[in-house]
Amino acid sequence: MAYLNFSELQGSPVAVPADVVARSGFTALEWSVVAIAQKDRLSSLGTPGRLSIALGTIFGSPKPNPQLADPKLEALRRVSVLAWHHGYSVPRHEIHAFHQAGYTPEHYEKLLASISRGRSALNQGRRTR
């Protein structure tokens, strides 16, 4: 499991106006997790199998595991990856884990609406090329 140290970001370098956080319900750190999840593959949601681990040990792992150390941010990343790939078709158990991590139904709606707009913008960009 890869470890990303986000503790350095909490409190000082990232300054987000309180009204922005209040309106969106997500912090700047959480929005960055959503943005990063856009590039993650669906395979990043699974745990590596024995063969994958063995080959990684022998040949070196080409890519670190993108799972986040913070369980709340990892729940957000998982739902975000699924939403970027499948839109509103997120498995029920992932939604439940998202809520168990401390997010509300309003967070979920805001997240999917934002990702839906992003997916539409990406699709529009592909059509104009």
**7 or 110, greater pLDDT:** 110
Interval 76-101 mean pLDDT: 96
Q: What tens digit of pLDDT does each residue of 47-81 get?
A: 777 887 777 788 876 666 778 889 999 999 999 99
Global pTM value: 0.72
Helix axes 105-128, 92-100, angle to 10 degrees: 130
Q: Give the separation between CA 27 and CA 30, rounded to whole angstroms.
A: 5
Q: What tens digit of pLDDT does each residue of 28-42 get?
A: 999 999 999 999 989
The residues spanned by each domain of the chain are 18-128
3-state helix, strand, coil split of the chain in percent (to 5) is 60, 0, 40
pLDDT surpassing 50 at residue 20: no
Interval 110-115 mean pLDDT: 96
